[in-house]
Amino acid sequence: MKNYDIAVCGGGFAGISAALAAAREGKKVILFEKQYILGGLGTAGLVTIYLPLCDGFGHQVSFGIAEELFKLSITYGAEDRYPENWLDNIGTKTEADKRYEVQYNAQVFAILAEKLLLENGVDILYGSYVVDISTENNRITKLFVENKSGRNTFSVGAVVDATGDCDIAHFADAPTALFEQGNALAAWYYYTNPDGYHLQMVGVLEIPEERSGNKEKLLTNRRFTGIDGKELSEQVCLSHQSTLEHWLKKRETDKNAVISTIATIPQNRMTRKIVGEYELSDTEMHTYFEDSIGMVANWKKRGPVYEVPFRTLYNKEIKNLIVAGRCTSVNEALWDVMRVIPCCAVTGQAAGTAAAMTDDFSTLDVSKLQEKLRNNGVVIHEKDILK
């Protein structure tokens, strides 16, 4: 049995941010990732648009590791949505030009993120599925992890659930909730043609009011929970078929188009989340929260800014468990906003920093957490944004 101060389960943007933040606080951190690549949906899932760090009216709202990873993702150049345009001609150009967002290269980002975590002393265990936990006195004491070596046991101080599906909270019998509407089928893929390398977004949940460029239709009326093994396999097969059909149709007009990459992770947006000590609602934009850990913007709409209460990241029934990313406690309407990459990085940084400070989250002095986050570049409250 191996011992770690902090276990981060899942290596998407939330897990990367949490592991980095915790390691920078000097803790012994292990990150378990079931794939052999970091980035989760943001790399293996081919979702490569780092949605905005700004409110759409020229004010940056997400900072710290959210901005660091944004910049890391374009170390060798952006693929589209060039961030240097974000302050130019606000309100007059295309949506992408109005927002501080970028399209990056998934593979380059994954390699750079891995290097960054290793340089900061994080132990990464790839191909490692956290399949169960054991608890004592309302604490997770052990994680059971399966990989090529078989079943391994890890003893841990604090646990960050960054699985995207709230797997660890579910194993620990912490209160969780499912996405009631279920996920629409998506089949995003990359193709090449003589003009270059292109992201093809097939299957869009809805057409956001300010994103009129999204013209894709639903691929099927079936909805997917994202937490059932058999259903996930069916979903992936349907997604592959949709990719093939889409590409064959494309070839009728673009005969040199070649599929270059398909997703290696199911493209689910919302699955399972923690029922936290607080549930942030879509109506709470511009609300001051004493225990805010940072801010996020609304990628669909210019204007709304949300402070994220620390209480959305844990339920005190399991003392040493904190969540980040897609598993954060928000209402059904806000989930589609909170799940995106910058929000995952914001909650990841807070969860990792908090895990380095305590193994009983409901007792943490949040002002001390805020102090650490501020020292690491995070702006906590909307009133502190320079306008």
Ligand X SMILES: Cc1cc2nc3c(=O)[nH]c(=O)nc-3n(C[C@H](O)[C@H](O)[C@H](O)COP(=O)(O)OP(=O)(O)OC[C@H]3O[C@@H](n4cnc5c(N)ncnc54)[C@H](O)[C@@H]3O)c2cc1C
How many residues are recorded in the chain?
A: 387
**Do the bridges between strand 49-50 and strand 102-103 make them parallel or antiparallel, or are there none, so unpaired?**
antiparallel
Give bridge partners of residue 169 from the DSSP assignment: none
Cα separation, 6 vs 320, in Å, equals: 10
- Choose among 8, 15, 33, 344: nearest CA to 157: 8
Minimum distance, C-beta of residue 330 to ligand X, in the bound complex (Å) = 12
Nearer to ligand X, 49 or 373 (CB): 49
- Maximum Cα interatomic distance, the chain, rounded to a whole number of Å: 63
Lookup result for tokens 């081919």: 46
Cα separation, 312 vs 306, in Å, equals: 12
Nearer to ligand X, 152 or 374 (CB): 152
Say if CB 318 and CB 169 are below 8 A apart. Answer: yes
Interface positions with ligand X (CB under 6 A): 9-15, 32-35, 40-42, 45, 47, 49-51, 129-130, 162-165, 167, 186, 188, 265, 267-269, 325-326, 339-341, 344
> Would you state the structure tokens that stand for residue 180, as one six-digit string?
């009631």
Say if CB 349 and CB 378 are below 8 A apart. Answer: yes
Minimum distance, C-beta of residue 256 to ligand X, in the bound complex (Å) = 26
- State the first-to-last Cα distance of the chain, in angstroms, to the nearest integer: 52
The one-letter amino acid code at 253 reads T
Nearer to ligand X, 270 or 356 (CB): 270
DSSP letter at 222?
-
Minimum distance, C-beta of residue 281 to ligand X, in the bound complex (Å) = 19
For residue 301, count other CB atoms closer than 10 A to its CB. Answer: 15
Nearer to ligand X, 157 or 266 (CB): 266
Minimum distance, C-beta of residue 305 to ligand X, in the bound complex (Å) = 16
Nearer to ligand X, 203 or 309 (CB): 203
Minimum distance, C-beta of residue 73 to ligand X, in the bound complex (Å) = 11
Distances (CA, A) of 362 to 272, 311, 357: 22, 8, 12
Minimum distance, C-beta of residue 258 to ligand X, in the bound complex (Å) = 22
Minimum distance, C-beta of residue 315 to ligand X, in the bound complex (Å) = 17
Nearer to ligand X, 219 or 356 (CB): 219
Nearer to ligand X, 227 or 381 (CB): 227
> Would you state the structure tokens that stand for residue 211, as one six-digit string?
């994103």
